[in-house]
Structure 1
Amino acid sequence: MTMPRLIVSDVDRTLLTHDYVLPQRVADAVRVAQDRGTVVVLATARSPLGVRPFAERLGIADLVVAFNGGWIGNVATGSALSQQRISRSDALHAMATAQAAGVRPMWFTGDAVFALMNDPLIAREAAVTREPLFVAETIEALPGEPGKIMCVAGGPPDREAFAMLRETLGERLSVSRSHPRLLEIGPPGVSKKTAISLVTARLGFAPAECAAAGDAENDLEMLAWAGTAMTVANAVPPVIELAHFVGPSCDEGGLADAIAWLMRSQQPKSTAAQSMGGRDG
């Protein structure tokens, strides 16, 4: 295995801890990869605004995949290379269906978040990404066409509604989980994989020359596409089964171990994984 030309990483619970902190050792590892000539790209379900602070801190704000692949561009300037939105009719239908199912839908414009009611779980999610939150008086008052809709579950009964939403909305929209309590709804055909495929085609990189890191269902296609798949110990089981390398939990900065493993790629895999404290798949 040779050092990949591109590393694409999920953000929440992969790059960041469960408390949404970027460990210094992870930031240092990203810079080491860049110094070795590897392009590093973030691919996230967050909005461009929500991911911007971390992309800027890492010095990689000029090329970011946001909204689960629905937006590609420079998060510092807001300039988009590619952008897809949910049609207003489909978005309003999704909001009404999710609201009726009791799973707290949130309408993301890219500049702000809109909800249909005041709810502490919605407020918590908006606070995570530090985006302004507004409550629309009626569903028709929701503005324009959203980049994504995110549904928030409050407990197991709400999460059971996710299966119904996937079945109801999945034929017309992209639907996937970014966390057991979060269901992401986007334009049809949108995914992190399709977005990073577009990015690498523009850069002239083949999938075999790329490494991907993620932890959740919405990362699976991207991880399967990349030549090398990496994850952290807190990932969902299907991701761990797919990964070539499993590092410690995101709370321990496990992505730094994965990047260090890539840096040591000239060594036999078993030696590299053992020396870095991870599991070589």
Structure 2
Amino acid sequence: MSQNSPFLGFSLRDTLTRLVPGLIFLTPLIVGVTVLNPDRLPNESILFVLLGLSGYIIGKFIDQLRSGLFRVPLSFRYFVYRETDQMEKMPSWYIKLIEWQQKLPRKLNFYEDRDESERLTNNMNLDFRKDLESELGVDFIEDRPREIYDLLLIYMSDFQTPRLRRFQSVSMFSSNLRIAAVGGLVPYTTFAAANWPDPFFLLMFTVSVIIAVLVVAFWSILSTTQHLYDELLFKEYYMKRHEDQRINS
């Protein structure tokens, strides 16, 4: 299936980055109504339309939230951090987690700085920092990771292969899925607390907790998708440079 092939009226990219995360966010509500108030459900055709539209609209909001707050993949930020040794290149919540875990016994630490063999670009004998600063006119010390990442995407805009676009969609999906699952805890917890001990709201809260726990359990797998996307982005950056040099020679 191509990147733009429709799936139930949505492109593959829209399905991954908007529809699915939106439906994940709505799942506790869907389960609650289906189990405890099935008489309120419309007929199947109307139900599918409502779910599709509602899921897409909520998913679009989630995607906009990711684009505004979490646009830069964490592995890309980590690459900039390792090149500069400036912890402030990482998100503030990430820094807070590290500071918090330092108060725990060492055996409970969940963060360990990766060694040189596990760096994002360890399998490519190239000086990415030097080349990116020269080609894009960025400064790893002065510029934020978002500025470097955005300029790299602009530079690559006319050279992104279908494979890179697929990896980008999967990376965006992994971020949106985490936002939908973890972010969904806030409203469902609030509703359950405000309507305690109503079984309908308790069921929604329970389902939202289960979804969040599952996403956290697979957190490392979701992070791997971003790591693979960033690594491919760097590789294709060099492919573009090589192609530009060939054309200009």
Which structure has the highest helix share of the two?
2
TM-score, length of structure 1 as denominator length: 0.25
Q: Pick the structure with greater CA Rg.
A: 2
TM-score, length of structure 2 as denominator length: 0.27
Which structure exhibits the higher relative contact order, with contacts defined as CA atoms closer than 8 Å and separated by 6 or more residues?
Answer: 2
Which structure has the highest strand share of the two?
1
